[in-house]
Structure 1
Amino acid sequence: MPPIIHGSSEACQAVNSILSRVGDKWTVLVVELLGQGPLRFNELRRLIGGISQKMLTTTLRGLERDGFVTRTVFPTIPPRVDYELTDLGRDLLVPVHALGEWARLNTGRVAKARVSFDLKQKDEAA
């Protein structure tokens, strides 16, 4: 399999920028939730749990800027704002789901590797 990042420095930086966005822990959760359909800000915040208003705002703005999410304001009182995945955002669900499944399948292997590493480090320090 060819490397993910190859070519010029500019190409590497572009790929790194995108991977930094989609690899963020909040981004994955937001994309997963919006994959089920449009949601309001407070619905997202409640479903995610543990995310601050500022962090959710920052995450949604970044996703909107990168073309993964649309923000629709409805002229009601109070204003209603819905967030929804774009076609690009829905395309992102495929690798996000695959990575999530890989993580679920390999949780035990990673935990075993961590224990082994930690024991080795402890032995080397003694």
Structure 2
Amino acid sequence: MKSKILNALLVFSSLFGYLEWGQDKKMFLFQIEAELFSKIPHDPLAILHPFILFPLIGQILLIITLIKKNPSKLLTYIGIAGIGILMALLLLIGCLGKNLMIASSVIPFLAISFLAIMHYRKIKIS
């Protein structure tokens, strides 16, 4: 049960990454995802950018682990890696741009990822 809770927290925390660009543009990742999903029927190629596709696949894999009776360690690791690519980029942007809001929005995902990896290293499921 702890595995499912950690995986649900991973998906949830990934939605609260924060971005700012330009003079007055700022969004959380859940807002960006909602905008992307609304554009898919009109422009399905809009999601084919690696920084959109890999985190989306990571979220889908983590959601699959929530549906399965026994969450897969491999799917969880791949999901963390897929979302982690975007979160690492956000952390880099936040640190280089000296934007504490962007950098700190990544901390919950990183902390839960660390806890999930430590948890899955201790248990014997595949």
What TM-score do the two structures reach when normalised by structure 1? 0.28
What TM-score do the two structures reach when normalised by structure 2? 0.28
Larger radius of gyration: 1
Judging by fraction of residues, say which structure has more strand.
1
Judging by fraction of residues, say which structure has more helix.
2
